Amino acid sequence: MAWIGPAALNTELEDKARHAGIVLAGSVIAVPANQRDGLTERLLNARHWVHADMIAGRYLGQNGVTVEELLRLAGRAGHRLDAHLMVDNVVETIGLLPQDIGRITIQYPAVDAIEEAMAHARPKARSVWIALDNPTAPELSRALACGPDGLLAMLTPPGKAGHAADLRRLDTIKSAAGTQLPFGVDGGVNEENFDMLHKAGVVYAVAGRALVRAACPAPPSNRPINKAIP
């Protein structure tokens, strides 16, 4: 099947992020696997980050990137790659990642040994964030005690597509981070809620289908096919 051009980016959302001083990351799983390399180049050329979700275990709802894909993306995006691990076997998965990528984001609660996961992630990435999905007070305290470089608030259920952003999920993390720890958002980010995210103090925003539009299949041609003349 032929495709018309690479995946397109939403310039309105890009402009909002630029004016707000928010780092924008494009989720590569918003497009089919055969378009992800092209999308990565578009994101890097626009000076955005590349956000790659690995999804398995309790978070399996939509397909994430494979280890092979992540290794290839790391070769392209390097220090602007954010590997978001929504998996149960976090420590084992971290061992498969390449050295010196931009960021590893560990989904929590996902594994009891969050401290062990953080220790394994540190040598692999320039920064390590923890993503939180409506955390309880003890979960939040434990995450903060690990000394992450930032917190990522999940505005939709992690690993699940088709949900609208619930901005109330940001409140607890915003209060915990205060002015000492950068925090970002993932899930349901779009032009309509971006101004509210800016006012909340968000510095990093992951956007999927609101930022990225997959290339469309070329329409079938009605022209007759010219057969080769012997």
Compute the mean pLDDT over every residue in the chain, rounded to the nearest whole number.
Answer: 85
Query: 18 and 46 in contact (C-beta within 8 Å)?
Result: no
Share of the chain above pLDDT 90, in %: 55
Domains of the chain, first to last: 8-213 (3.20.20.70)
Confidence class for position 82, pLDDT limits 50, 70, 90: very high
Confidence class for position 112, pLDDT limits 50, 70, 90: low
pLDDT tens per residue across span 129-167: 999 988 888 888 889 999 999 999 999 877 677 677 778
Share of the chain above pLDDT 70, in %: 86
Of the chain, the end-to-end C-alpha distance in Å amounts to 27
Q: What is the mean pLDDT of residues 3-16?
A: 74
The model's pTM: 0.86
Query: 93 and 84 in contact (C-beta within 8 Å)?
Result: no
Distance in angstroms (rounded) separating the CA atoms of residues 91 and 220: 48
Measured on CA atoms in the order 101, 131, 202, 193, is the torsion positive or negative?
Answer: positive
Distance in angstroms (rounded) separating the CA atoms of residues 47 and 56: 29
pLDDT for the residue numbered 179: 63
Least reliable range by pLDDT among 17-26, 87-96, 183-192, 221-230? 221-230
Distance in angstroms (rounded) separating the CA atoms of residues 155 and 189: 8
DSSP codes joined into one string, 33-60 = GGGHHHHHHHHHHTT-EEEEEEE-GGG-
pLDDT for the residue numbered 121: 96
**Which of the two residues, 68 and 175, has the higher pLDDT score?**
68
Q: What angle do CA 121, 101, 135 make, to 5 degrees?
A: 45
pLDDT tens per residue across span 20-54: 999 999 999 999 999 999 999 999 999 999 999 99
